[in-house]
Structure 1
Amino acid sequence: MSSWRDPYQQNQYQQYEQQYQQPQQQQQHPNGQQPHVDQFSYSQNPQNNRRNVRKKSLLIGINYEGQAHALKGCRQDVRNMSQFLVSKGYPTDEKSMVILADDRKGPFYPTGHNMLAAMDWLVSEPHTQCFLHYSGHGGQVKDPDGDRDSGFDDTIVPVDYQQNGQIDSDTLHRRLVSKLPASSTLFVVFDCCHSGSAIELPYVYRTDADGNVNLMDNVKQGIHLMTTAKNLLQGGFSYNKVNDAKQLFAGAQSFFSSLKHRNEPQEEGLGEEHFMEDWAHEGKSVFMFSGCRDDQTSADATISGSPSGAMSWALLETLYSRPDLTYVGVLQNTRQLLLGKYKQIPQLSVGMEVDLNQPLHI
């Protein structure tokens, strides 16, 4: 299958965007021990302090009925997620919530064209809290740009992928992240295979089996650690400076060591991939919970007799039962729910340096 290479021109989205455009409105760990969280120099995300911002959501669920690899729970995931968003104050009018599913018609049928158009609509306004949920197939296609070590781009799979191809991670980043206004925030949930870096965010966190949360950034992060350590020692020495520099050097050494076998599955850290694009400079307020690492598949499960994606179920179970959790707590709790039944390892990807020990407010 080929990669979707954005064959449509922007003006073909205008009718769709105009239809929905609206002016801007003003844990305790099971072993009893406290798991560690990698500590870095964070900047506070100002969006989490904002109130009365406009809220928009885009929910995409594709079961691929009648196709060779049909799924069962994706449309149910969308229904479940929409109910959760309503409980969090997300409006359901057609100018604020758009649902694409393969039991719908017209602009709400999840073709590649409609999915990209809806994404453009989602991130089109400043001072907006945006939410995107995708439940469906994920895949990988050969990387034509040479910007992936593995030689493959992660993808999501529209209902018409056999005719028009898949939507690759580079396209998703440019449409969702690069176009996001600096004053807006985007939350993303991808419940699909190979979703770990599906929108190519620069900071990636994953829990290990003990519940510890580790940051494994791209290769540039390792270089950043080395550079920061060297800069710290310039302009004079002090005990604190030397101590901090030693920690940074140790972190960089550990980071590069983890890349020696980056194509092998790993329990913690991203390790197996990095991007040639320096997305970190964008500094966008984007938070993505994904169903598994790039080298894993997500489970299509049955929960309490109803079909559901395992990641969607675990995340919603966490958000409903523990609304006070931090970003780190949500990731840890989701991992614990999946750990007993499923092999996939959920992860959190972020578009900027931010304090993940603050409460998650969706």
Structure 2
Amino acid sequence: MSQYNAQGYQNSYGPRTTHRKSLLIGINYEGQQSALRGCRQDVRNMSQFLISRGYPTDERSMVILTDDRQGPFYASGHNILAAMDWLVSEPNTQCFLHYSGHGGQVKDPDGDRESGYDDTIVPVDYQTKGQLDSDTLHRHLVSKLHPTSSLFVVFDCCHSGSAIELPFVYRTDSDGNVTLVDSVKEGISLLAHAQGLLQGGFSASKINDAKALFAGAQSFFSGLKHRGEHQEEGLGEEHFQEDWAHEGRSVFMFSGCRDDQTSADANIAGSHVGAMSWALLETLYSRPGQSYVEVLQNTRQLLLGKYKQIPQLSVGSQVDLNQPLKF
């Protein structure tokens, strides 16, 4: 039996929904030193895809925020949070969120991150109003999600691996194998190997090998509080139990890269786009009915060899990821 179809996992379809809503955010930061070129195009491309999938476009159902619109559709921090609250507020709704723009990191005010930083997304007015950190994003998107609704998220930005702090994180290797990021199991495995080396007598080589394994295990366990540059993503177990363990929301998130990586702005077929947004849309258009695992694998394969970023899938509860992707 596949590890993604184990007994006791929830059905990945989540609650039955009767309405669809979408929020698309694209920020090019025109006139700023950190300007991007493909984010608004990503939003246009994603909206066309959603329309092809039957998503309604009336103002009650689809909201687009960019940095070239005015009023409530300007991609300021205030408007982004208000739009997120709007997105997840109703019962029996399939919610879709796409963000293309800068991602960043800010100092963790709570002191519960091993790296000392929270991941962020970057509104157009970040220089005066600040960035939106992962705690804030989780509370507005996941904690506020109506229990009878589902949320599908695409973040095409740097440092996006755990940007909304979901407890289960999956990634692929270059051969397409999908694994659940689990620092606890890896740390225990390293300790077991180290202890095994020391059984039956000591030698200089055994001691040195065991020291290296013990050091590796210590690194994994310290990473449970959060991630440093080479540590695994996801909330530390203690922090997750304290803040989010009771939620179990139906949330799926495809992110452009790991927390310690950047996400590329690309020029493909003469059009400026985000590499992750492009690869995901190419994958979704290519063959309907793919599973969550297949979409993650195929998106990675399109990026492999051209871009260093490794896309990830994060989930709000353990589910069968071999079922067809639904949003």
Q: Does 2:126 match 1:161?
A: yes
Q: Does 2:10 match 1:44?
A: yes
Conservation of the 8 A alpha-carbon contact between 1:47 and 1:184:
no
Q: Does 2:89 match 1:124?
A: yes
Distance 1:317 1:357 in 2: 20
- Describe the superposition over 1:50-97 as per-residue Cα deviations: whole angstroms up to 9, x where unpaired: 3x6100000000000000100000000000000000111110001100
Secondary structure of 2:246's aligned partner: helix
> Which of residues 182, 186, 194 in structure 1 aligns to 2:151?
186
Structure 1 residue runs of 4 or more that deviate by more than 6 Å after TM superposition: none
Distance 1:48 1:145 in 2: 32
Give matches, 1:30-41, under 5 Å.
40-41=6-7
Q: Tell me the equivalent position of 1:317.
A: 282
Distance 1:57 1:182 in 2: 17
Q: Tell me the equivalent position of 2:24.
A: 59
AA partner of residue 321 (structure 1): S
Give matches, 1:72-151, under 5 Å.
72-151=37-116
Q: Give the C-alpha shift of residue 259 in structure 1.
A: 1.3
Q: Does 2:296 match 1:335?
A: no
Aligned length: 294
AA partner of residue 203 (structure 1): F
Distance 2:58 2:182 in 1: 38
- Describe the superposition over 1:181-223 as per-residue Cα deviations: whole angstroms up to 9, x where unpaired: 111000000000000000000000000111110001465x889
Distance 2:289 2:116 in 1: 40
- TM-score scaled by length of structure 1: 0.76
AA partner of residue 60 (structure 2): K
- Describe the superposition over 1:101-122 as per-residue Cα deviations: whole angstroms up to 9, x where unpaired: 0110000000000000000000
Conservation of the 8 A alpha-carbon contact between 1:203 and 1:218:
no
Q: Tell me the equivalent position of 1:197.
A: 162
> Which of residues 216, 231, 236 in structure 2 aligns to 1:274?
236
Distance 1:271 1:109, change over 3 A: closer
Distance 1:139 1:71, change over 3 A: same
- TM-score scaled by length of structure 2: 0.84
Distance 1:273 1:120 in 2: 23
Unaligned runs of 5+ residues in structure 1 are 1-35, 226-252
Distance 1:189 1:65, change over 3 A: same
Unaligned runs of 5+ residues in structure 2 are 190-213
> What is the aligned-residue identity percentage?
73
Conservation of the 8 A alpha-carbon contact between 1:38 and 1:214:
no
Distance 1:53 1:296, change over 3 A: same
AA partner of residue 109 (structure 2): P
Distance 1:37 1:257 in 2: 27
Q: CA RMSD in A?
A: 2.6
Conservation of the 8 A alpha-carbon contact between 1:77 and 1:312:
yes
Q: Tell me the equivalent position of 2:260.
A: 295
